[in-house]
Amino acid sequence: MEPTGAAAVIIGNEVLTAKVVDANGPHLIQRLREVGIPLRSLEIVPDEVDIIVEAVSRARLRAKYVFTSGGIGPTHDDVTVRAVALAMGRRVVRLPEMVALIREKAVDAPTAESLRLADAPEGAVLIAQPGSWYPVLTVEDVFMLPGVPQLFRTQLEAVLGRLRGTPVYLRVLYLSLGESTVAAALDRVALDMPHVAIGSYPTFDRSLDYVVKVTVESAEQAVVEEAVSRLRAGLPQGSVVRSE
């Protein structure tokens, strides 16, 4: 079976050492959900070629689309391009069209370091990014995005505009009873409707008006509504505080 959905690899020693709080992973999770592309996995790895190769290889087995964040700049620790090329069994080449963009953008003659931005896995293509000279680098549904959050977000939008997802319909029930009391009702509906994703999330914040949050989601709205109706019928009377 062909892999579906997306997987992500967040790359950077600064994230693993808490020098930087990762903003790209949470943003990617949210945007993929909004466009209807399920996220299969997300890994955070250091700037080490072998570890990145392993992570990208795993991601490609799990998902159709792979997003990397970080490690594509001109400095010594920017090793993502080399690692992706190794993971895909390709050479690293210099893209003439990227060299031309760098020369056009540079005030003076570009440095050897700045020209590293033109290195890419063999067979890579550039996706133009509206409003920016710097394109998205991609090869066989692996999208190598920058680690700087502002750049990551703009490049991500350029990519998502080319992908197709399936919107997910979501309903939420807020319950006044604990999980042990409502588990049987949830189990019955989950077993009868395995194609519907039902989640149960308890809270211990007594300032809230509920004890358990139940989510019901599917690509089919009618199925979601049927599951919600079954849950309401099976839950103890008066246990649903509110719904969304």
- Note the pLDDT of residue 131: 82
**Contacts by residues 86-89 (CB-CB < 8 Å, ≥ 24 positions apart):** 86/49, 86/53, 87/52, 87/53, 87/56, 87/57, 87/60, 88/56, 88/60, 88/121, 88/139, 88/140, 88/142
- Of the pLDDT bands very low, low, confident and very high (cuts 50, 70, 90), residue 133 is confident
- Note the pLDDT of residue 77: 80
Structure-token pair, residue 52: 């990145």
Structure-token pair, residue 112: 């050897």
Dihedral sign for Cα atoms in the order 70, 72, 78, 79: positive
In Å, how far are 101, 108, 109, 115, 148 from 105, measured between CA atoms? 6, 9, 10, 12, 19
- Note the pLDDT of residue 74: 85
Per-residue pLDDT, averaged over 233-243, amounts to 95
Compute the mean pLDDT over every residue in the chain, rounded to the nearest whole number.
Answer: 94
- Note the pLDDT of residue 152: 96
Is residue 107's pLDDT more than 80?
Answer: no
Encode pLDDT of 58-77 as tens digits. 999 999 999 999 999 888 88
Query: How many C-beta neighbours within 10 Å does residue 92 have?
Result: 14
Give dist(CA 90, CA 43) in Å, integer. 23
Structure-token pair, residue 223: 């199925």
Residue type, 23: A
Give dist(CA 174, CA 79) in Å, integer. 46
Per-residue pLDDT, averaged over 114-124, amounts to 93
Q: Can you give the pTM of this predicted structure?
A: 0.87
Is residue 106's pLDDT more than 90?
Answer: no
- Note the pLDDT of residue 24: 98
Encode pLDDT of 141-159 as tens digits. 999 999 999 999 999 999 9
Give dist(CA 164, CA 52) in Å, integer. 27
- Note the pLDDT of residue 165: 87
